[in-house]
Amino acid sequence: MKRKYFLFRKEDLSLLSSSSSDTGQGLSVFGVSADLMSYVTAIKGGVTLYFNNATPYEESNLTNGESFEKTSVTVNCDEGKEVDLVESIMNFLSSDSSPSILKFDAVAQTSDLKEVRTSLDVGASLKTHPVNRITGDVSFQSDNGFTADTGNKVNDIDFLSTENKPVVDFEFETGTYDSGSPFNLTALANSGTGGAVYDIDISDSIGNVTKVDSGSSVGLSKTSGAFLSTSSLEMENTLTINGDYTLYIVFNVDQYEAVGPTYGSINGETIGFSVTEHTPGASSSTSNVGLIGVRHQGKTASPATQSTANTDVGTVAYKWPSVNSTSPSYQQCYVFVIRRDASNNIYAYNHEGDAVAIIESPDLNQSIVTTLSDLGTLPGDTTGSLVIDQIGGAGDMAKSTFAGNMARFGVVSRDVGDSVSRNLAKQLFNLYKF
């Protein structure tokens, strides 16, 4: 019998496309030999195919209670046609006269089988990590006794490896505040690997950051620091990262506050992660759509920005801030993870672990573009060093500084990658949401 194959296309290829995925996010195209199919099951409105030995790892040393789940693909079909679709797949596998490739294409909305719905949807999961068979959660255990591995945890967040631990991590719950109202921040230590070198220097900071207790009014489960548009914190020393990096932030804003820059350098050249303001008092339907925006040291042109409200290059549409409490999309606890890869592409993830924005690096192979970049005058440039002196502002840009309640801010001096970034965003949200 001739060799046969399955070809599944979920989405167009993009910078987010991955060769494997525990959740299915980023797995755009998947081709596999039909010989590896172990079984197929039916669910209402679809079928799920399972495959043996279709993971990136040939073997793994698993701990007690762990297993690698089989690679699986779910294809939708008309309700009532599930068994027919299973039968058609089996006929494809058993017939010498059937084509060599059975294709399910959710982009072109085509399939070789009549039972597949016109609005074809494909979901694939190709595992890179084992799961705990009891909880069903992705497992990162390090021993056979299920002893919790805390070595990679910083302030209750598991960064999964030593290399991914942050050099800077500020949790405002751990800050020291004075005893009299309005309870101003008097000290904030760095919990990251950089230690006291990057502690907050209150004496050089601008204005006051005040204590905000956790609760439903702010939607945060931990203490946060309230920034005014006239306040920012300064670190004891400058943090400089020349290459790839990852940063994260947890905060709250309301209808009277702005979402301006949350970090930056003293001279205002480095600025991020948001470079626009929310319109005070505006409803979610009329407010400015939040932009992801970054600029690095040595750059003076317009920052590189991207709206999160579209689905460009495979991203998920996400409008923020949504400060109207009557809106279905109303949100209080905001989480963003921002990463820059080795090619200077910028990625942003929200609280659900969705990639909501990609800012592609400009093509610096062109001599004129290279010249503009070197001069710092190329709009939208993603290159340059990440330089952070200030939290809650950038330089003397008082009009555009962050105004809101910040619960957590941190920086990892490497690109932790797509999968870890999604995981980190979800962990942060689950920890800080009220």
Residue 281, pLDDT > 60, answer no
Q: What is the per-residue DSSP string for 392-422?
A: S--TT-GGGS--EEEEEEEEESS---HHHHH
Q: What is the per-residue DSSP string for 193-251?
A: TTGGGG-B-GGGSBS--EEE--BTTTTBSS-EEEEPTT-BEEEEEEEEE-S-EEEEEEE
Q: CA–CA separation, 348 vs 332, rounded Å?
A: 18
* 363: Cβ contacts below 8 Å, ≥ 6 apart: 369
Per-residue CA distances from 410 to 169, 170, 191, 341 (Å): 4, 6, 9, 17
Range scoring the smallest mean pLDDT among 15-29, 144-158, 372-386 = 144-158
Structure tokens at 349: 């993830």
pLDDT at 237: 97
Convert the pLDDT of each residue in 300-338 to its tens digit: 888 899 989 888 778 999 988 776 777 777 889 999 999
Q: What is the per-residue DSSP string for 90-128?
A: HHHHH-SSS-SEEEEETTTTEESSTTB-SS--EEEEB-S
pLDDT at 214: 95
Whether residue 346 contacts residue 294, with contact meaning beta carbons closer than 8 Å, is answered with yes
Q: CA–CA separation, 154 vs 204, rounded Å?
A: 26
Phi first, then psi: give them for residue 308, nearest 5 degrees: -90, 0
Mean of the per-residue pLDDT values for the chain? 84
Q: 269: closest CA among 281, 261, 277?
A: 261
Residue 82, pLDDT > 50, answer yes
How far the first Cα of the chain sits from its last, in Å, is 59
SS3 276: coil
| Confidence grade of residue 1 (pLDDT, cut at 50, 70, 90) | low
Beta strands at 168-171 and 101-105: parallel, antiparallel or unpaired? unpaired
For 153-432, CATH number? 2.60.120.200
Convert the pLDDT of each residue in 136-161 to its tens digit: 556 655 444 444 456 899 999 999 88
Q: CA–CA separation, 110 vs 268, rounded Å?
A: 51
Residues of the chain with CATH 2.60.120.200: 153-432
| Confidence grade of residue 276 (pLDDT, cut at 50, 70, 90) | low
Biggest alpha carbon–alpha carbon distance for the chain: 83
Q: What is the per-residue DSSP string for 295-306?
A: B-TT--SPPEEE
pLDDT at 134: 47
Convert the pLDDT of each residue in 398-430 to its tens digit: 556 788 899 999 999 999 999 899 999 999 999
Token pair 């924005």 is found at 357
- In this prediction, what percent of the chain has a pLDDT beyond 70? 81
* 97: Cβ contacts below 8 Å, ≥ 6 apart: none
Residue 57 DSSP one-character state: -
Residue 135, pLDDT > 70, answer no
